[in-house]
């Protein structure tokens, strides 16, 4: 059986980002969304990063998710070369705990937007859930899966109990 063409491309600046970005791929998998994950860097592999972004729409992709740490230019550079929505996930960094990544991603110049999420795993998961929401706009099955996920989440939280003091 041939693999479905990816609808979502997860691109990260280094394989050292994968332990965090795994949560993004796992969430997309949970919703049955065809996706691919790649290491590409605006700094270390600029030509390949630009080619990836400029060919993504032609390959049938709907959303790109860019993750990077430190001087986190990757998502912005992808956005410069595609009209697809680009979601940005700031990676926790060694010296500044990801604040550098967050600021590098969120302060895009007017005209080339990226949607920036929280630093780390929560951001990785939420970027995937946001991609699910976008796909659900034109996919009734996906919308049902998203509703079911929200219901399960609500039930889990409401079932929580705290220890007596």
Ligand X SMILES: Nc1c(C(=O)O)ncn1[C@@H]1O[C@H](COP(=O)(O)O)[C@@H](O)[C@H]1O
Instruction: Give the residue numbers of the binding site for substrate.
Output: 14, 17, 44
Least distance in angstroms from the C-beta of 155 to ligand X: 36
- State the nearest-atom distance from the C-beta of 35 to ligand X, in Å: 18
Q: Which two tokens stand for residue 73?
A: 């230019």
The binder of ligand X chosen from 68, 87, 128, 134 (CB under 6 A): 68
100 binds ligand X (CB under 6 A): no
Could you say which DSSP state residue 108 is in? Answer: P
Q: Is 16 in the site for ligand X (CB under 6 A)?
A: yes
Q: How far is the CB of 24 from ligand X (least distance, A)?
A: 14
Q: Is the CB of 18 or the CB of 149 nearer to ligand X?
A: 18
User: Do 125 and 25 meet the contact criterion of CB atoms below 8 Å apart?
Assistant: no
Q: How far is CA 52 from CA 26, 68, 139, in A?
A: 22, 16, 25
Q: Which pair of tokens denotes residue 60?
A: 């049938």
SS3 label, residue 133: helix
**Interaction between residue 9 and ligand X (CB under 6 A):** no
Interface with ligand X, residue 90, by CB under 6 A: no
User: Cα separation of 36 and 134, whole Å?
Assistant: 17
């Amino acid at each position: 059986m041939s693999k479905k063409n990816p609808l979502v491309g997860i691109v990260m600046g280094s394989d050292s980002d994968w332990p965090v970005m795994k949560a993004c791929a796992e969430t997309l998998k949970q919703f049955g969304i065809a996706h691919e994950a790649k290491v590409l860097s605006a700094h270390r592999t600029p030509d390949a990063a630009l080619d990836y972004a400029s060919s993504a729409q032609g390959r049938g992709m709907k959303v790109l998710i860019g993750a990077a740490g430190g001087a986190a230019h990757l998502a912005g550079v992808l956005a410069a070369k595609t009209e697809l929505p680009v979601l940005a996930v700031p990676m926790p960094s060694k010296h500044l705990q990801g604040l550098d990544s967050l600021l590098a991603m969120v302060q895009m110049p007017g005209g080339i937007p990226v949607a920036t999420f929280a630093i780390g795993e929560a951001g990785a998961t939420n970027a995937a859930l946001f991609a699910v929401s976008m796909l659900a706009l034109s996919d009734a099955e996906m919308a049902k899966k998203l509703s079911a996920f929200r219901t399960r989440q609500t039930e889990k939280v409401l079932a929580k109990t705290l220890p007596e003091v």
